[in-house]
Amino acid sequence: MDEILQPWLDNDVEPADLYQLLGVPRFHESLDDLGTAIREAHAVLRQYQRHPESEVQERSRRLRNLVGQAARVFASQISRQTYDAELKAKLAAMQQRRKYDIVGIDLGTTYSALAYIDVHGEPQVVANPDDQSNVTASVVYIDGDDIVVGATALRNAKSAPENVVQFAKRDMGEQNATYVRGDDRKAYTPESISAIILKKLVAYSEQEIGPIHRAVVTVPAYFNGLRRVATAQAGQIAGLEVVATLNEPSAACIAYRLHTNQHTGIYVVYDLGGGTFDVTVMRVGRNRIQELASDGNRQLGGYDWDRKLVDMVCRQFLEQHQLDPRTDPMAFQTLMNDCCEAKKTLSSLKKAHIRCTFQGKELRAEVTRDDFERETGGLLKKTELTIESCLRAAGGSWADLAGPDELDSHQRESLRKNGFRWDDISGIMLVGGSTRMPMVQSMVKRISGKEPMRNVDVDLAVAMGAAIYAGVLETQSSDVVFEELPTIVPLSDEPPRPAGSAPLPDPGRAGTFEYVTVNSLGIGVFVSRAGVPMNFVMIPPHTVLPAIKSHTFRTTQENACDVRVRISEGDSANSNQCHELGFCVVGPLPERLPRGSKIEIQIGFDKDGRVTVQGRCLTTNTIVRAIIDAAGLLTQEQVDRERRELDRRTIN
């Protein structure tokens, strides 16, 4: 079989059909012979995953897709007379299933999914044949050069927790966040773990819909620029071009298809997943979704409810046996998995039983739904307070954005003062598997007086919305145009006022879809005031993007040759609590420039996290412009190295 396949691996030529690839006649006397040839070819091609030449790896991957499809079709046949026609139909359908090459990916903390737009324009989620599910557990098990992703990895977490990585998304973009796993004790970054999950999604999806190279990947709305770049870098390591990162609540809103309605409304998206929490307030109208405010917590999710159950059981174990199962990694992981299942049971039943064994001792704990809800009430209260805060911020945003024909002065003042009331809200969308807990649904209904919307699968909504948005990007331009430097902003300590924003397409045009987003964190500059470093916010949180704002500053030194402008991300005046996105230099400045000379700085910020900085010395009217792409923690060299390393590994 090696000799038969070698010409196809050495040359970038596609075989006409399976028979040409295998070097066999179109019809076999025995179906077993064809089945054997398919299995042998697949085994040979898998070996080329570790080939040193990336071109050969790519060819072997494409050929494996063809053989894999043949194997799936062949296994379902019952007679020699039918397999040929069925195989040809299946292979043809594989090339015709997608309307667009680009796909949407929900890279979740606990579960991930990949979706595409079919030829009828509808989003479809690709099922994982290994896990027999539409979602894949975001769990990675590392055993030498072999890597396992999904349900099998989750099961291995009980017996070998030291080789398993879970919840990597919580650490995305974190400095010095690594996981040491495997027999060789290799260190993996959150980006490389996420890349492994992405490669798994792509591998089984390609068997159904053909080659995948480009994707829209979703992120929590409150992810800062660094974490968004880290997500894109994970895609690069996996061999994907991440065309855009889309906020998860916005993806869910798109999946609900509210933008196809004629009437405008204000909606709240409550997204409680396995590891992160988001809430976003949106204004939705015909062909337009406009984010007004977002907030959330990347360290709050269903995992924390599971951990509370673990603590409840361990307290009982301590009282009965004077031993704590949490001190042993294997016992702790086993108990975590069992408590996760018990949590799901409590969503449908009033009580659940959890069996815990440790050091020869055993406990069979009974947990009621009432006990569980009392124990986790503090977690739920955090999400409730976040909703209230987001409604206030969204009301203020809409008061500033709305035109005179949309709000009168009284309404505008009320929104600025009180934010949105629940009477202003048209609906509440629940997203994320953890929203299945009755306590979540009851809380949302209690505070809003409204029945939550649940007409889309909470596990698949984000992936489907990402696929729809990916299709939109294929059919319309997403370029951002920055305006020229506006009129000078007077020097003062007041916050900067808007200097303009890029024009938005007409949302009423047929076939268009406008997605208007806001920033979750402020963008500004680091300044010195009385010798004390501070953060000066120029683009406040919840500003519609793209946005451009200006402010005038004074130089702090005599005869300054230039001014270094450090761009900040964060809302606090304390510079130590903010992140530096990058810097640029305004200059050269004229000679003998006195201290306190005026320098105007303009910052433009687009949806993709790209910052445009323009500076002008008001003495000479010299203008300097620079574009700052938010840098990730990994250099391009590190990204390329991790990609090469991952390409030689086998992912199952």
**What is the Cα 371 distance to its own chain's centre?**
33
Q: What mean pLDDT do residues 579-597 have?
A: 76
Please, which pLDDT band fits residue 116 given cuts at 50, 70 and 90? very high
Q: What percent of the chain has pLDDT over 70?
A: 82
Dihedral sign for Cα 442, 448, 454, 456, please.
Answer: negative
Please, which pLDDT band fits residue 478 given cuts at 50, 70 and 90? very low
Q: What mean pLDDT do residues 285-312 have?
A: 87
Distance CA 346, CA 353 (A): 10
Range in 265-269, 405-409, 413-417 the model is least confident about: 405-409
pTM score, whole prediction: 0.70
- Do residues 224 and 474 make contact, with C-beta atoms less than 8 angstroms apart? no
The contacts of residue 645 (CB under 8 Å, 6+ apart) are 192
The closest of 191, 290, 287 to 242, measured between CA atoms, is 191
CATH code linked to domain 514-620: 2.60.34.10
258-331+342-354+371-447 folds as Nucleotidyltransferase; domain 5 (3.30.420)
Q: What mean pLDDT do residues 11-40 have?
A: 65
Please, which pLDDT band fits residue 624 given cuts at 50, 70 and 90? low
Q: What mean pLDDT do residues 140-150 have?
A: 87
Distance CA 353, CA 350 (A): 11
Domain ranges of the chain: 2-95, 103-251+636-651, 258-331+342-354+371-447, 514-620
Distance CA 54, CA 62 (A): 13
In the numeric block, the tokens 């920055």 are attached to 482
Q: What mean pLDDT do residues 184-203 have?
A: 91
Q: Is the pLDDT of residue 73 over 60?
A: no
Q: What are phi and psi of 105, to 5 degrees?
A: -130, 125
pLDDT in tens, 304-317: 999 999 999 999 99
Q: Is the pLDDT of residue 622 over 90?
A: no
Range in 352-356, 406-410, 479-483, 648-652 the model is least confident about: 479-483
Please tell me which residue, 296 or 378, carries the higher pLDDT value.
378
The per-residue DSSP string of 488-546 comes to PPPPSSSPP-B---PPPPPTTSTT--EEEEE-SS-EEEEEEETTEEEEEEEE-TT-EES
Please, which pLDDT band fits residue 508 given cuts at 50, 70 and 90? very low
Counting every residue written for the chain, the total comes to 652
**What is the Cα 339 distance to its own chain's centre?**
26
Please, which pLDDT band fits residue 383 given cuts at 50, 70 and 90? very high
> In the CATH scheme, what architecture does the domain 103-251+636-651 have?
2-Layer Sandwich (3.30)
- Do residues 553 and 595 make contact, with C-beta atoms less than 8 angstroms apart? no
258-331+342-354+371-447 and 514-620 in the same fold: no
Across the chain, mean pLDDT equals 80
Identity of the residue numbered 391:
L
The contacts of residue 316 (CB under 8 Å, 6+ apart) are 363, 365
In the numeric block, the tokens 């004074």 are attached to 554
